Structure 1
């Protein structure tokens, strides 16, 4: 609170506006309620993550963590409702009255405006999470409760400082990641403090070690998303001397101090606590007090920054003197016409997928190095394929194709084909689940780590159904029609959240399909190779038919989007769509042919292995199986001969 009020005073975030003043209650009530929202979010998600990955579900520590999550989500819900009301007062500045007319205006704001809908959705989701945290005690079900809580951050990410016209999507991603991982970081530490009295002797150091790993990941994500947000709103170094820039520097200093404490905790304090046989109370409280103090500073400044004017004004398409059709539709001007060179030199970075690819490569390589340190081997080809797949995913989600895909259907289709077929063909042979199961230590204290969650997934009924080749093929091929010929296509093209969902969907359905055919990781079913080839050939035919339908179609998909961009390149939107159909038919079939070749090779090798196994068995037992089979045939022949020589024997 001290950091909040000091930052509001310094940055002018609560100063009375020159025209119409909503009142001091609204000017100070809104940032205070938003600070409480952030604390409630942190307590909810931090406690749930700690319960899922660090605590024993059969002990009081687990129940205490869920109580923390329930209480925090209740605070989140109440504070979100208060934020909605103070936002209403700030935007519309009505006179508060206890009558139906005032209630109608408030209801209209909550249901008819973007800001109101965002806060209403946040309040309802937080209230739902509160009830679920009280009612649910099953660890697996709690994973879905955590997902619901994370979804509750999406409406919050869509309001506030979300950047100008061109930076809107990047700003939304940065805010979402920043709030999520800052919440895990802060909420996890608060939960450890509150569950400490319930931990058995010696457990504190173990829980802190697990939290420290999560905190390190959170620090990296918070630092990256914070940098992106600051770069969008400050742009030039000189703007760091503005009130907004100085508050950003204060927040950065607090986060760096937290990173320093985290490093000291990992390298020094946890070891001292373990050496002290779990006592080490002085070390624990010293570190926790310092970390919570700096977290308080960072949280207070962050809440004030949301109300402080940025040095770079946020310009929307409506503010432009002569916006182009592309700017009105996408928020960005048309890029230059597509060339091969520009596909590899233009970039549109997406922080979410930068982090996914970076962490994916780092953890995979770290696991391989751990295997080698203990004397085990791991095929080099698997590592090469995994890294190549991650690099290709990085390019598709950040490179030139990502620049053009919201303007041209053909580039969108190229991204779809690579995400659904090209990248999974590289990632699946990398066998990431097998590598994780071989390198991650097994938990023996009743908690679930990454290894336990992976085993639960592999042996679950859902994976058993989704992992069947026929089901995976239906999902992969059927989603083509379900996606492009329903409103899903429009949502995924025009909405940033929809776009991220689209990337995840294509990637997962493609991964499931390839895993069912050539996967090395554990699978619920391994059908014979002829069946796999038949399913693959059927999918190829279905895929080709979809591409031909687009190539020969005369109706434009999403005409009010792709048909209204204002391109002047001599190629109409319909022609570009037909080019996209050709890409779906031709480029999409290349990985499929590669899959067919791989399945055939695996089939051949399987037959060769079976022959060698049979030969070794024959060498061991003198070909007893063949002798037994020949004896059976000889016996049948004698019986047949006896029947033929005996009159009326067969009657």
Structure 2
């Protein structure tokens, strides 16, 4: 690799540390501050706090040694990093209910403005489970079945955007399916369950395609390495989607039982 390549790699690595280590850590600090205030005021579940902290911890772990260097030079390491960033960490973040915490902390007028913004047509489309699934699972098909993954290996900007996309699309999909935060005009539980099942099947199918046909192509990886990475995707994805399904059904059963949501206080006023 030439000097320009080394410089580009260093710049992309620094950007990723800033975006996916420093900023999430600051977000966790803000979350802990808000959760402490809320606990003193009207109560806040320590399980929510623990879930959010685990989500941030998984993001940081994926972007630091030993996983980050392994992911840079090995497709198997990349897949482990992908699973942490795009599937496991978003479950913790969403179950932490950061939106509910935010709505409780800000003035009522601000909370109403946030809720109204989520109800606008563009954002209603963006946060719909079908859109979220297309961005998340569909994005994986584009990444691994086209030359995009090979491009990301040599292009620092694409490399950074790819990792940020993992986190954002994974969080959006998780939140749209089983997030406890309030969302105006959220589709019913039946549609969300159907999207979850279809997304799970599509993810499993992608793992099989990668294993059977040697995708992604155009990368310096042996067939055995590609097959092992596909197995990480298949079985790791199954575990993450099982956890997401468990969160979904827990939310569903709580609603059917008539138990109160964690939406009291200013969040309720915002609606």
Deviations for 1:421-453, whole angstroms, at most 9, x for unmatched residues?
10111100111121112112367xxxxx8x687
Aligned 8 A contact 2:83 2:237 in 1: yes
**Which residues of 2 match residues 461-476 of structure 1 at below 5 A?**
461-476=121-136
Alignment-derived partner of residue 458 in structure 1: 118
**1:453 and 1:504 mapped to 2: Cα distance?**
27
- Measure the CA separation in 2 of the matches of 1:173 and 1:590: 29
Q: Are 1:359 and 2:26 counterparts?
A: yes
Structure 2, gaps ≥5 residues long: 261-271
- The Cα of 1:399 is off from its aligned counterpart by 2.7
1:517 equivalent to 2:177? Answer yes
Q: Partner of 1:490 in structure 2?
A: 150
SS of the residue corresponding to residue 224 of structure 2 reads helix
In structure 2, C-alpha distance between the alignment counterparts of 1:165 and 1:477, rounded to whole Å: 30
Indicate the residue corresponding to 2:209 in structure 1: 549
Change in CA separation of 1:171 and 1:513 when aligned onto 2, cut-off 3 Å: closer
Aligned mates of 2:223, 2:92 — CA distance in 1: 33
Question: Higher relative contact order by CA 8 Å / sep ≥ 6: 1 or 2?
Answer: 2
Q: Tell me if structure 2 keeps the 8 A contact 1:473–1:539.
A: yes
Q: After superposition, what is the alpha-carbon deviation per residue over 1:332-359, rounded to whole angstroms, capped at 9, x for unaligned?
A: xxxxxxxxxxxxxxxxx82432211221
1:591 corresponds to which of 237, 240, 256: 240
1:418 offset after TM fit, Å?
1.9
| CA–CA distance in structure 2, aligned partners of residues 464 and 422 of structure 1 | 25
Cα drift, residue 555 of structure 1 = 6.0
| Preserved contact between residue 97 and residue 181 of structure 2 (Cα < 8 Å) | yes
Of 352, 365, 385, which residue of structure 1 is paired with 2:51?
A: 385
Partner of 1:432: 98
Residue 83 (structure 2) pairs with residue 417 (structure 1): yes
Q: Where does structure 1 differ by over 6 angstroms across 4 or more consecutive aligned residues?
A: none
Conservation of the 8 A alpha-carbon contact between 1:468 and 1:524 = no
Structure exhibiting the larger radius of gyration computed from Cα positions: 1
Alpha-carbon displacement from aligned partner over 1:611-641 (angstroms, at most 9, x marks no partner) = x9xxxxxxxxxxxxxxxxxxxxxxxxxxxxx
1:531, distance to aligned residue in structure 2 (A): 2.7
Contact residue 420 and residue 509 of structure 1 kept, 8 A: yes
Q: Which residue of 2 aligns with 1:499?
A: 159
| Partner SS state of residue 558, structure 1 | coil
Partner of 1:574: 223
TM-score when normalising by structure 1:
0.37
The structural deviation recorded for 1:366 is 1.1
Query: 1:273-326 CA distances to partner (integer Å, 9 max, x unpaired)?
Result: xxxxxxxxxxxxxxxxxxxxxxxxxxxxxxxxxxxxxxxxxxxxxxxxxxxxxx
Count of matched residue positions in the alignment of Structure 1 and Structure 2 = 258
Q: 1:406 aligns with which of 60, 63, 72?
A: 72
RMSD (Å) for aligned C-alpha atoms: 2.7
Please report the TM-score for the alignment, with normalisation by the length of structure 2: 0.85
Displacement of 1:474: 2.2
Cα pair 1:170 1:350 within 8 Å, conserved: no
Q: How many angstroms apart in 1 are the aligned matches of 2:5 and 2:153?
A: 17
Q: 1:531 is matched with which residue? A: 191
Alignment of 1:72-471 (within 5 A): 169-171=9-11, 350-373=17-40, 375-441=41-107, 454-455=114-115, 457-471=117-131
Alpha-carbon distance in structure 1 between the residues aligned to 2:192 and 2:25? 33
In structure 1, the gaps of 5 or more residues are 1-162, 177-348, 444-448, 564-572, 613-651
